[in-house]
Amino acid sequence: MKLRRHPTGIASRPPAGERRRFIGALVALGAGALMPAAQSFGQGKPFITRPIPSSGEALPVVGLGSWITFNVGNDRVARDSCAEVMRGFFDAGGRMIDSSPMYGSSQDVIGYGLQKLGKPPRTFSADKVWISSGSAGRAQIEKSRERWGVSRFDLVAVHNLLSWQQHLPTLFAMKAAGQIRYVGVTTSEGRRHQEIEEIMRREPLDFVQVSYSAVERDVEARILPLARDRGIAVVVNRPFREGALIRSVKRQPLPAWASEADCGNWAEFLLKFIVSHPAVLCAIPATTSVTHVRENMGACLGRLPDEAMRRRMAAHVEQL
């Protein structure tokens, strides 16, 4: 499989058909590697992964965010509690953990948790660069890496498009040098979608991170189809709208028809709506609760809703 050269000198991804065949083989391998943890967690239900389009590497459709929840400072009790959340996440087959230098002490807390759990080899480390100065990007990424205590990041994305014109060339160079594996950009709460679209069209991104939920569906119109066309993996942040959405729907009983998509609780319902979109790689809910992380990981199990059911789910949540 030949790699095309991007105008910037960075290798671009292969044509879609060739890529799909390559991906298919890798997906099978990736899913297989995850099966032991997933089987013990899911009691025999199939464990759902999705391939990263640019490489074919399979990732579970639910990751772990760290915004607010892991920013607990030097509080040892709270750090241990976060480590238990991470343990629950890994035990359920989870891989991607997401953070940013903007999230206070979250990177340190993740590093503490990884160290305590013996640095699980399945960890997929996703972090961001968030600094105005382009020349300071590398130093910030290195500091973040030290805080995590990992040998290298799997994914580094430009946080909220801050100085993306300066940071993207650095990230592509780091990827070419093998210092990181994937490059992305992020935004949240529906901001700067036009700009992110332009970047997606122009740059050979591996990942894009956006907000998406049953009640916040702007990205369905352009961002998600574009990501699919361009072979860019979509990570979904704030799937519960910082808890407000799930707190709101939890007042109502889960509809009986939710079981048709193997949804046993509202967390699974809301997450399966998101990850069943064909362009979405995974959602990254954040939590401080082991119970909740297990509920969230339940969205990796069983059947996903089809398009008709997705419409029904969105209509139902909007009605609530």
Partner 1 sequence: MSEWWTYSLSDFLLFSGRTYYRLIELYNIDIWPVQSVALALGCIIVALLWRPREGQGRFIAAILALCWIWVAWAFHWRHFVTINWAAPYFAYVFAVEALLLIVFGVVRDDLAFAPGSLWHRIGLTVVLFSVFAQPLIAPLVGRGLLQAEVFGVAPDPTAVATLGTLLAGGRRALWQMGVIPLMWCILSGAVTWTLGSRDALVIPVVTVVVLAAAATKTARRA
SS3 (DSSP) at 117:
coil
Does the footprint of partner 1 cover residue 192 (CB under 8 A)?
A: yes
Q: Which stretch binds partner 1 (CB under 8 A): 21-29, 100-108, 201-209, 304-312?
A: 100-108
Does residue number 189 form part of the binding site for partner 1 (CB under 8 A)?
Answer: yes
Binding mask 147-186 for partner 1 (x = CB under 8 A): ----------------------------------------
The rounded distance, in Å, linking the Cα atoms of 34 and 54 is 20
Which residues, 6 or more positions from 177, have their beta carbon under 8 angstroms from its beta carbon?
none
Q: Which is nearer to partner 1, 79 or 312 (CB)?
A: 79
Of 8 and 188, CB closest to partner 1: 188
Contact yes or no for 88/293 (Cβ under 8 A): yes
In the complex with partner 1, the residue whose CB is nearer, 167 or 230, is 167
What is the amino acid identity at position 234?
V
Q: Which residues are within 8 A (CB) of 27 and not within 5 positions of it... i.e. 6 or more apart?
A: 49, 51, 56, 58
Q: What is the DSSP letter of 64?
A: B
The angle that helices 137-148 and 106-116 make with each other, rounded to 10 degrees, is 40
* Residue 223: partners with Cβ closer than 8 Å, 6 or more residues away: 193, 196, 197, 200, 208, 210, 234
N-terminal to C-terminal alpha carbon distance within the chain: 49
140 is an interface residue for partner 1 by CB under 8 A: no
CA triple 41-46-48, angle to 5 deg: 90
Q: According to the binding rule CB under 8 A, does residue 104 interact with partner 1?
A: yes
- Asked whether position 71 contacts partner 1 by CB under 8 A, the answer is yes
Complex with partner 1: residue 130 or 182, whichever CB lies closer: 130
Of 28-36, 66-74, 259-267, 312-320, the segment contacting partner 1 by CB under 8 A is 66-74
| CB 80, min distance to partner 1, A | 13
Looking at the Cβ atoms of 71 and 213, the one nearer to partner 1 is 71
Based on the shown chain and the rule CB under 8 A, indicate whether residue 72 belongs to the binding site for partner 1. Answer: yes
Closest distance to partner 1 from the beta carbon of 102 (Å)? 8
Instruction: Name the residue nearer to partner 1 (CB basis): 74 or 291.
Output: 74
Q: Which two tokens stand for residue 121?
A: 């080899």
* Selected binder of partner 1 within 191, 247, 250, 311 (CB under 8 A): 191
Are the beta carbons of 234 and 208 closer than 8 angstroms? Answer: yes
Q: Which span (49-57, 72-80, 219-227, 301-309) binds partner 1, by CB under 8 A? A: 72-80
Footprint of partner 1 on this chain (CB under 8 A)?
68-69, 71-75, 78, 102-105, 189-192, 195, 242, 288
